[in-house]
Chains A and B, each alone.
Chain A
Amino acid sequence: MGKRVAICAVSQIKMDSDYWYMRFQNMLLPCLESIVEQTGVTFDLEKGIRDIITNSDDVFDARTISNNGVTDVVGAHFRGEEKMAQEGINGLGYAMASILSGHDDVILFMGHCKESQTENRLMNTNLAFDPFYTRPLGLDFLNASAFQAREYMKKSGVTDEHLAKVVVRSRKNAKKNPNAIESKQVTLKEVMKSPLLADPIRQLHQWPVTDWAFGMLLCCEERAKEFTDNPVWLTGFGNCMDSFFLGDKDLTSNFSLKKASERAYKMAGIKDPKRDFDVVELKDLFAYQLPMWAEGVGIVDENKGGEWIDGDGPDKQNVNLSGGMLSGSPLLLGGVARTIECVLQLRGEAGKRQVKGAKRAIAQGTYGAAGQHQAVVILEK
C-alpha cells in the first residue's frame, strides 16, 4: 500500500471509577476542545472535519442509537458521523480505510463509555450471549474468560503467583500514569488472597469499573503537517473474528489474535515482532491475558507465558508501562486506550513512563467472550 495515515493529536479525560456527576456529553466535550486546541482543526467542509467516527454502545449507554446522544458534543451538526459499535480500536482501522479510500482526508474519532452507569457491567455482557442456550446458563465475559484462563495457565505454566505479579506490576506502573485510575498499591499476598470471582480469576485480576472518554484526530499523509509537528503514523491494522460457542474453539489457540496480528504485520512490514516494537500495549481485562495476548501477538514464544513473567519479560519489552487495562479503561474502549498510550510514547509525551527513543509500537484490543474478536494496530514515529 505504501501509504500512511497520521494521528495528529489525542485527548482524553482521566479515567475514573465513578463520574457520577457527569453525563457522557460532559466527558466528551473537553476531549473535543483539546483536539481543536492542539491542532487548530476546523469543521470547514473543504479543509476541516467533514466526517466523524464515534465509539459507544447502546447497551452500555442504555440508549438506542447511543451516538444520537453525543452528536452535538462531537461537532457532528450537519457532518457525517458513523459509530463503531464494537471495541473502539477497530475505529482506527475504519478511520484508516476512510482516509486511504480518498473519501476523507481528515477524520475526528471520539468515544465514550461509562461503566458506572449500569447496575452491573457483567449483566450487559451476558446479553452478548444467545438468548436460548448460553445466556440462560449465565455466561458473561468474566466466567467465559475463566474457562480460557484455566486452560491457558495449564498450557503455558502460568500460576496464581504469576498472575499476582502481573497485578502488582500494573498498579506500580499506573502510579506513573496520570490518566490511570487511582488505586492503592497491593502486595502479591493481597492479590493471591483476593476472593475468587470465577476460578481461577480473582477480584484483583479483573479490570476496574471505569468511566472514560477520548478524542483523536487522524488525517492523510499529505496534510499531517497542517495539524501537527509531531505526527504518529498508523501503518498497520488487522482484525479477526473467531467462533461464537466456547465449545467450538480451542480456547488457548489465540486463533483470532494471531490472524489479526498477521494482517497488521503484513500491512506494516513487521518481520520480527519480538524485536520490532519499542512499546507494547495489551488489553489485559484479566491478569492471565497479559501473557496470553503477548504470546498471541508473537512477542513471546508459544507456551512460555510463565517463564516470560519470571524473566521480567514485560519490563524488558516495555509491555503495558501505562498499567494496562488492569489500571483502568472501559471494556468497550480498552484497545483505544492502549493505542493512545502508544501515541503518547511515540510522541515522547509519556512523562515518567517514557521509553527513550521509542520508534514503533503495537496496541491490541479485543471484545467478545474469551477474546472472540481481536484487533491490532501498528504505530510508528
Chain B
Amino acid sequence: MAHRKKNRNVGIVGVGQTKYSSHREDVNQPEMIHEAVSLALENAGIGLNDIDCIVHGNMELFEMVFQPDLWHVIGTGAYGKSQYRITTGGTVGATIACAADNLVASGMYDIVMAIGFEKLQEGHTTGGITNMADPLWFRHLQTGALTGTKAYDMIREFGEERANRAAMMYRIIMDKHAGLNPNAHRSFGLEFDQMGDLIKNSPKLVGDLKLIDMCSQSDGACAVIFMSEEKAKQLSMKPVWIRDHVTVHREEIFHLFGYDEKYPITMTHTLAAERLFKRNGIAKPLEYFDVFEMYDPASWWAVDWIRDFFLLKGDEHLRLVENKDIMIDGKMPINPSGGVIGSNPIGATALVRVAEAAMQIRGDAGKHQIPRPVNHALASGFGGTMWTVLMMLEKELNW
C-alpha cells in the first residue's frame, strides 16, 4: 500500500501573516519575511531557538533572485538551523506545508517552520508566469495565467446569463469576505446590486475573463509552525492536526478542458479529491468539511472548481454560489479570508490557505471567523499547469 499510517502526528501551532499589499516599498524581501516569522513565533508562544528546521518557498524569476533562501536567512532566522527549499508553482505554499508535515512526521525534526513569500511588485507577474511555458513554443503564445477558457466552458454549459452572474456573485462574496480580513489586499466594498454593472463594465482581459475576476498581484509573506504531537504535549499546546495531504501534477498542456465529449479531460482537482477522500473515508465531503480555503485565482475557475473538489454533479456548485451557501455564515463557507482573489503573494498564497484553515479551526480568525464550530477544514493549492495540492486539517485527533 502506497500510503501508510503516519509515523507520528503533526499539528500547526503558530501562524504569521504580513498585510498583503502592492505597496511594500517600506521593506525589502528579508524584512518582509521577518514580519511574518515574528508574528508566527509570537502566535505560537515560542522563540526562534525552538525551531529545528525551516522550509522556504517561492518562485525565483518573479524577483530574479537565485536561491533566495541564501539572502533571506536574514529574515527567516534559518542561521544554524536545518533548512530546505522546496518549490512547485503557485502550489508552492501548499507544497512547503506538506513538506513541513512530512519532515516533522518523519521524526527527523520536532518543530518546523514553513515560510512562503513573494514580492510581486519587484518583477512583472504576468511576464514571469508566461516564462514557465516552453521557450520553443508556448512561451510565444501564452499570456501568464490569464485565460478565458473556463468562462467559455461555463457559458457553454450554463448559458451566458447564469454563468456570468454566478461568477460575479462569487467575486462579490469574496470581496465581502476580504472586507472582514485585515490582511487582505483588495476589498472594494462591492454590493450584490452592482452585479450587472460589473459584468458589463469591468475591462476584459481574455475572452470573458475580466479584470475584476482576476486575483491581485500582492507582496506578502506567511509563516506557519508545525510541531510533533509529543512536543506539543510537552509545551501544553493544542495544535490543529494535519490529517493528510495529496499532490497531483500533470505535464504542460494547451487545452484546459475538452473540445469533444467523446474525449473527456480528467481534472487534477477531481483526482486529488478522490484520492484524498477515499483513503480517509470521507464519503460526503460537502457535509464533512466546515470550511474550504481554496486557491481561487479567478472567479470563473473558482466556481467551477467547487464542483471538482467536492465531487459534485450538474449545477450543484452553481447553486452553492447562487444561494450564498459559500458565504462565511452559509452552510459550506469558502474562503472567509477573501481568498486568492483578495490577496495573492504567489509563493505565500497556498500556505495562506493552510494558515487560514488552521485559524478557523482554532477559532481565532477574528472578524472573519466562521460563526459556527469548525472541526474539519480543507485547503487547496493551485499552480503550474493545473497542478493541485489538497490538505486536510482537523480539530481533534479522533479520525
Q: State the A residues within 8 Å of B (CB).
A: 1, 44-48, 50-51, 57-59, 62-65, 67-69, 71-72, 76-86, 90, 93-94, 96-106, 124-125, 127-132, 220, 237-244, 255-256, 259, 263, 267, 367-369, 372-373
**B98 adjacent to A82 (CB under 8 Å):** yes
Interface residue B268 (Cβ < 8 Å from any Cβ of A): yes
Known: A65-B383, A104-B2, A124-B66; 16 extra A-B contacts, CB below 8 A, are A45-B275, A58-B60, A58-B61, A59-B67, A64-B62, A69-B134, A72-B252, A80-B247, A85-B60, A102-B7, A103-B6, A103-B105, A130-B28, A131-B65, A241-B82, A243-B79
Which residues on the B side are within 8 Å of A96 (C-beta)? 106, 108
Chain B, Cβ-Cβ closest to A130: B71
Contact A79 B131 (CB under 8 A): no
How many Å from the CB of A75 to the closest CB on chain B?
10
Q: Are A241 and B251 in contact (CB under 8 A)?
A: no
Q: Which of B36-90 contact A (CB under 8 A)?
A: 54, 57, 59-62, 64-74, 78-89
Given the complex of chains A and B, what is the CA–CA distance between A67 and B90 in angstroms?
Answer: 12
Query: Closest Cβ of chain A: how far from B113's Cβ, in Å?
Result: 13
Asked if A237 meets B108 with Cβ closer than 8 Å, knowing A63-B135, A68-B132, A71-B250, the reply is yes
- Give the docked Cα–Cα distance between A318 and B250 (Å): 43
Report B101-134 CB contacts with A as 1/0, cut-off 8 Å.
1111111100000000000000000001101101
Q: For B73, list chain A residues within 8 Å (CB).
A: 241-244, 372
Residue of B nearest to A372 (CB): B70
Closest 4 CB pairs of A and B: A101-B105, A80-B247, A100-B106, A72-B251
B35 to chain A, nearest CB (A): 17
Contacts A97-B102, A237-B108, A241-B73; is A79 near B248 (CB within 8 Å)?
A: yes
B residues in contact with A80, CB < 8 Å: 246-249
Write out the residue numbers on chain A whose beta carbons fall within 8 Å of the beta carbon of B68. 128
A-B contact pairs, 9 of them (CB 8 A): A57-B60, A71-B251, A72-B251, A72-B252, A78-B268, A80-B249, A96-B106, A129-B71, A255-B80
Residues of B within 8 Å of A64, CB to CB, are 59-62, 128-129, 131-132
Q: How far is the CB of B349 from chain A (nearest CB, A)?
A: 14
Contact with A along B202-216 (1 / 0, CB 8 A): 000000000000000
Interface contact A77-B250, CB-CB below 8 Å? yes
Residue from A45, A69, A78 in contact with B2 in the complex, judged by beta carbons closer than 8 Å: A45
Q: With a 10 A CB-CB cut-off, give which of A58, A69, A76 has the most chain B CB atoms.
A: A58
Tell me the smallest distance from the CB of A363 to a CB of chain B, in Å. Answer: 17
Q: Is the interface of B mostly helix, strand, loop or mixed?
A: mixed
| A interface footprint on B11-55 (CB within 8 Å = 1, 0 otherwise) | 000000000000000001000000000000000000000000010
CB distance from A210 to the nearest CB of B (A): 17
Does B252 contact A69, Cβ atoms closer than 8 Å? yes
Q: A69-B134, A243-B73 are in contact. Are A259 and B6 (CB under 8 A)?
A: no
Which A residue's beta carbon lies closest to that of B69? A86
Q: Are A127 and B7 in contact (CB under 8 A)?
A: no
> Do B248 and A46 have beta carbons less than 8 Å apart?
no
Q: Chain B nearest CB: distance from A254 CB in Å?
A: 13
Alpha-carbon gap, A47 to B2, bound state (A) = 6
Q: Which of B4, B108, B245, B247 has the most CB of A within 10 A?
A: B108
8 Å CB contact of B83 from A77, A81, A241: A241
Residues of chain A with a CB closer than 8 A to B95's CB: 82
Bound together, the chains give a CA A64 to CA B120 distance in angstroms of: 14
Q: Total A-B pairs in contact (CB under 8 Å)?
A: 219
Chain A residue at minimal CB-CB distance from B127: A64
B313 contacts chain A at the CB level, 8 A cutoff: no
* B99 and A373 contacting across the interface, CB-CB below 8 Å: no
CB of B131 within 8 A of CB of A63, answer yes
Residue in contact with A128 in the complex, picked from B54, B70, B80, B266, CB distance below 8 Å: B70
Which A residues are CB-close (under 8 A) to B131? 62-64
Q: In the complex the two chains form, is B80's CB within 8 Å of A240's CB?
A: yes
- Interface members, chain B 283-329 (any A CB < 8 Å): none
Take A83-B88, A127-B64 as given contacts and tell me if A132 and B28 are in contact as well, using a CB distance cutoff of 8 Å: yes
Q: Which residues of B contact A82 (CB under 8 A)?
A: 86, 88, 95, 98-99, 247
On chain B, the residues within 8 Å of A97 by CB distance are: 99, 102-103, 105-106, 108
User: Complex Cα distance A129/B66, Å?
Assistant: 8
Give chain A residues whose Cβ lies under 8 Å from the Cβ of B380. Answer: none
B200 interfacial by beta-carbon distance below 8 Å: no
Cross-chain contact A128 with B59 (CB below 8 angstroms): no
CB distance from B332 to the nearest CB of A (A): 26
Tell whether B384 is near chain A: CB-to-CB under 8 Å.
yes
Looking at the assembled complex, report how far the CB atom of B36 sits from the nearest CB atom of chain A, in whole angstroms: 18
- Judging by beta carbons under 8 Å apart, are A65 and B59 in contact? yes
Please indicate the chain A residues that have their CB under 8 angstroms from the CB of B134 in the complex: 69
Q: Which of B84, B128, B245, B384 contacts A86 (CB 8 A)?
A: B84
**Shortest distance between the CB of B272 and any CB in chain A (Å):** 9
Find A85's partner among B72, B82, B86, B385 (CB 8 Å cutoff): B86
Q: Of the candidates A71, A98, A102, A244, which one forms a contact with B249 in the assembled complex, judged by CB atoms under 8 Å apart?
A: A71
Q: Name the residue on A nearest B389 (C-beta).
A: A80
B residues 249-287 with Cβ under 8 Å of A? Answer: 249-252, 266, 268, 271, 275
Find out whether the CB atom of B86 lies under 8 angstroms from the CB atom of A81: no
Q: Is the CB of B70 within 8 A of A244?
A: yes
Known A-B contacts A102-B5, A102-B105, A128-B67; the reply to A81 vs B247 at CB < 8 A is yes
Q: Establish whether residues B384 and A101, one from each chain, have CB atoms under 8 Å apart when the complex forms.
A: no
Q: Does B3 contact A (CB under 8 A)?
A: yes
Q: Please name all residues of chain A whose beta carbon is closer than 8 Å to the beta carbon of B268 when the two chains form the complex.
A: 78
Q: How far is the CA of A59 from the CA of B86 in the complex (A)?
A: 15
Q: A40 to nearest B CB, angstroms? A: 16
Smallest Cβ distance from B95 to chain A, in angstroms? 5
Residues of A within 8 A of B128 (CB): 64
